[in-house]
Structure 1
Amino acid sequence: MSTQEPSTGSRNQPRYRRPRALSPLREHLRDTFWFAPTAGLVLVLLLWWAASGVDQAVVGLMRADGDYAGIAELIGYADDAKTIITTVSSAMMTFIGVVFSISLVAVQMASGQFSPRVVRIFVRSRITKLTFSVFLATFVLSLLVLAAYDGETDPERVGTVPLVQSVVTMLMVALSLALFIAYVNSTLRLMRVSHVIDRISRASLALLKKQEREWDEDVVLGAETARFTHQGRAGVLRDVHIARLVRVARRRGAVLRLIPRIGDFVVPGTPVIAVHGGEGVTKKAVRHSVSVGVERTFHQDLGFGLRQLADIALRALSPAVNDPTTAVQALDRIVQFLAVAVELPLGALRHRDGEGRVRFVQAVPGWADLVDLGLTEIRGVVAGNPQVSRRMVAGLDDLLLLAPEERRGVLERHRALLVEVVERTVPDAADREFALTADRQGIG
């Protein structure tokens, strides 16, 4: 099979890094908001258990030494700490409710002003999850510490003095305050469109870099021997479990191919996996390798970033918002992404096993697909917005300088269509000339 590269066993043969087995699970957990708080509660229970053990050990050692005066002193310190912890316990849940109620309002405003697709940025925010987890953990820890006070004041009869637990609780309160400051700063940044666009751009470029070494325009497959259809719920193809598919293909001596692209909407009966060569690849072996959800993700979807940037630009150019400067900022990042992708193969992704043999082939958007995705819809609404048309002209001119000959056609087509739109919608010749003058800032 032409995609197979023979393994000679030579010491000079390069070793290929296998796909990460836990990568899909990690990404799916990042798209949830329950995992981090749950993990935080488990960790704080372990922390309380350890601190409780230390408190019991300290009292036991002091009693063995006959240091009842020291135990009495510990009881006094613990009683003072109890007052603080009681206040923390009563105020923490109220604090959590107020803070995250404000956050939900901020998310709603960002969704309406930018795009509903940006809500996932707030959901995946590490600082948001960490802050929420620590707040809940502090509240639970304060309850556990209060329950540990037995009310006994006799040094000879007291079982434990929760002094270490109280200190740990106050440290958690200090951490909560520090995280609250960081959280407010992060939330305010995410409410600014420039930072949202930057986050989307960085995620898109990171995926582009991650997939760079696995592209190949000329993947030639052998005869198709089997095909499996999707049998789960209808939805968006979020990602595939590459490590599992590579492992299945290696065991059966086959090459698997993903038929739809990541981000496609699939329904039961849609063909999803094709088998080329090999023997014995069963539907059961690949059944749990395809993940379908309600929305696209950045995990393996190369076009999702451009989709979000285009949506932000379109929302900015709508009559309700009328913010061409935001559209220009989105165009800046679209041009940046295309400038990085212009010299990449952008064909099929070929995933190899540890010996370097191609085992799984995955289609990705080509160069023309990415250009059309990033520019077509914005170009259609530039009428009356010379700031946007000037920035698009400058971006196309820059990409034409970078693009190899075989990739200039789609850029020239978009430039000609942009000129046509402006000439059709702008009646005055001087205004048309102004609107089609290249300017990387739009209009300064």
Structure 2
Amino acid sequence: MSSGQGGGQSGGQAGGQGGPGWQADGRRGAQYPGARRRPRYRALSPLREHLREAFWFAPLLTCVGAVLLAGLTDLLDREIFAEASAAQTADTLLSFSSAAKSVVSTVSSAMLTFIGVVFSISLVSLQMAASQFSPRVLRLYVRSRLIKATFATCLATFVYTLLVQLGYDDTSDPARAVSVPIVSTIVALAMVMLSLALFVLYVQATMRLLRVPHVIDRVTRESLQVLQDYRWLAPELGPTPGAVPEGPTLLHEGRGGVLRDVNIRWLIRVARRHDAVLYQVPRIGDFIAPGTPTVVVVGGSAPRPRRITTALNVGVDRTMHQDLSFGFRQLVDIAIRALSPAINDPTTAVQAVDRIHQLLAVLAPVHLGELRHRDKDGAVRLVQPVPGWEATVDLAFTEVRICGAGQPQVTRRLAAALDDLLRITPERRRAPLLLQRALLERAVAESVRDEDNRAFALTPDRQGIG
């Protein structure tokens, strides 16, 4: 995205941020040839997010469509029967009417049972995912378009066949008959076939989402997408971000909740209008309550707090839209839940550590600094805090290390991950990794008293115990 669109490119080149394909300069509309994609500057729409997580919206639309479709097919059936009556072939159509009514009636009664099966599978899937993986991954099920499409199509088929039955003629006399449900029956059968096809795909997708490798892979891919957006923005090189400069502090005036997303374009526009620089205080994913500091205004005049609150998307849970840490949080939650005494599944924890290792390897050469978003003239208008390297390493390893200190499969995988990261991480970033390596050795020493077992537990192994 060019800075003329309220962009957030850095003023200088950010060498060492994953190659030139992810860099941009501060000139208006300028972009290095290797840049592949635009970052997600478009803010999340609270209404759109609510509809994506709601189960009522898609069925409502399909049921309305079913009502309209039933009226259209009934109109076509009446026209077809009128033409057949004029051509003296109405008796042939009436002989088809009885069979058609039987088929539609059978479909109508069966679809309601079918809907119950689909809904039951969804509830069982949600329960199993919450108990075995983490409540944070339930969004993969709730936001699944295939689940909603299957449920909505089955419900629309039931409504459609019910309305078709209401339009039946109760006479077999060609002189008194008005229509024969030819088109209606064909459409009903087509909707049944579509429902069955979606059901097969739905069962396959649900079975995949109940397998932890696929859930972990899905979370990892979404995390890499967020990281690519971050690398495209190319935060400016410089000293490690410190304290926020002095200035008027605006407080949150909206409802309490998790900061899910920030409307960057809106904040840049507000800062430009007041000739100021806005320093965002909470990070994406922080919980903010009324009275929580939101921005510090440096220079110019302070806008009204309500204008800042308008740009903050506050909800009940975090999203992957602009949150660099949420992917790590989900993977760590899966790992420590697998290591709990109730589940005791170190292999699942190792699979989560595999992906944590992957994300840290991608993040290791990327500069982590304040995101400085510029207006169309190249002036910095919004500064956003992002998690630093040390905080990210702590998030990735601390809880897994504590919970898995007594599991040699986990400790061996952690040792291998730390050793690999130490090989590829720049010298200035190795201190947090070395600290995690020392803490891992200390935790194993406290949990495993036997010297031979302790040496075995600290032997690096990328399969845990391969």
TM-score range normalised by the length of the shorter chain: 0.7 to 0.9
Residues 52-91 of structure 1: per-residue CA shift (max 9 Å, x gap): 444344445556xx2241x443444344222111111112
Task: Choose which of 200, 213, 225 in structure 1 pairs with 2:232.
Answer: 213
Query: Is this contact kept in 1: 2:248–2:302, CA < 8 A?
Result: no
User: Residues 44-443 of structure 1 correspond to what in structure 2 (within 5 A)?
Assistant: 44-59=66-81, 66-69=86-89, 71-155=90-174, 158-218=177-237, 226-279=248-301, 281-352=303-374, 358-443=380-465
Q: CA deviation at 1:440?
A: 0.4
CA deviations over 1:94-128 (Å, ceiling 9, x no partner): 22113322331232122112222222221112211
Moved more, 99-108 or 270-279: 270-279
Judging changes above 3 Å, is the alpha-carbon distance between structure 1 residues 67 and 255 closer, same or farther for their aligned structure 2 residues?
Answer: farther
Unaligned regions of 5+ residues in structure 2, if any? 1-8, 12-25, 33-37
CA contact (8 A) 1:14 1:356 kept: no
Is the CA contact (8 Å cut-off) linking 2:134 and 2:334 kept in structure 1? yes
Residue in 1 that maps onto 2:14: none
Report the Cα offset of residue 270 of structure 1.
0.5
Residues 307/416 of structure 1: CA separation in 2 closer, same or farther (3 Å cut): same
Unaligned segments of structure 1, at least 5 residues: none
Contact 1:37/1:136 (<8 A) preserved: yes
For 2:440 and 2:404, locate their aligned partners in 1 and report how far apart those are by CA, in whole Å.
8
The alpha carbon displacement at 1:421 in A equals 1.4
Is the Cα–Cα contact under 8 Å of residues 383 and 425 in structure 1 kept in the other structure? yes
Provide the C-alpha distance between the structure 2 equivalents of 1:18 and 1:412, rounded to a whole number of angstroms.
34
For residues 52 and 244 of structure 1, what CA distance do their matches in structure 2 show? 50
User: What is the CA–CA distance in structure 1 between the aligned matches of 2:244 and 2:408, rounded to whole Å?
Assistant: 51
- Which piece of structure 1 moves more, 50-59 or 216-225? 216-225
Q: How far is 1:4 from its partner?
A: 9.5
Residues 152, 249 of structure 1: CA spacing in aligned structure 2 closer, same or farther, 3 A cutoff? farther
Deviation of 1:302 (Å): 1.6
* AA of the residue aligned to 2:412: R
CA apart distance, 1:242: 3.1
SS of structure 1 residue aligned to 2:403: coil
TM superposition shift of 1:234: 2.4
**Structure 1 residues 247 and 171, CA gap change in structure 2 (3 angstroms):** farther
Task: Please tell me the residue identity of whatever aligns with 1:388.
Answer: V
CA distance in 2, matches of 1:267, 1:17: 28
Q: Match of 1:188, SS?
A: helix
SS in 2 for 1:406: helix
**Distance in 2, Cα, partners of 1:395 & 1:130:** 40
* Two-structure CA RMSD over aligned residues (Å): 3.1
CA contact (8 A) 1:31 1:124 kept: yes
Query: Cα distance, 1:228 vs. partner?
Result: 2.8
Displacement after TM superposition at 1:353 (Å)? 5.2
Residues 85 and 146, structure 1, Cα contact 8 Å, conserved in 2: yes
Contact 1:56 1:161 (8 Å CA) reproduced? yes
Q: Which moved more, 1:405-414 or 1:95-104?
A: 95-104
Match of 1:281, SS state, is coil
Which is worse superposed, 148-157 or 15-24? 15-24
The 2-side partners of 1:94 and 1:324 are apart by: 40
Q: Are 1:215 and 1:346, in contact at CA under 8 Å, matched by a contact in 2?
A: no
Preserved CA contact (<8 Å) 2:237 2:367: no
- Which of 44, 48, 51 does residue 29 from structure 1 map onto? 51
With the length of structure 1 as denominator, give the TM-score of the two structures.
Answer: 0.88
Q: Secondary structure at the match of 2:382?
A: strand
Worse-matched range after superposition: 17-26 or 398-407:
17-26
Shift of 1:269: 0.6
* Cα distance in structure 2, aligned partners of 1:356 and 1:305: 32
Query: Residue 379 and residue 281 in structure 1: after superposition, are their counterparts in 2 closer, same or farther (change >3 A)?
Result: same
**Following TM superposition, by how much is the alpha carbon of 1:406 offset from its aligned partner in structure 2, in angstroms?**
1.4
Q: Evaluate the alpha carbon distance shift between residue 141 and residue 242 of structure 1 in structure 2; reply closer, same or farther with a 3 A threshold.
A: farther
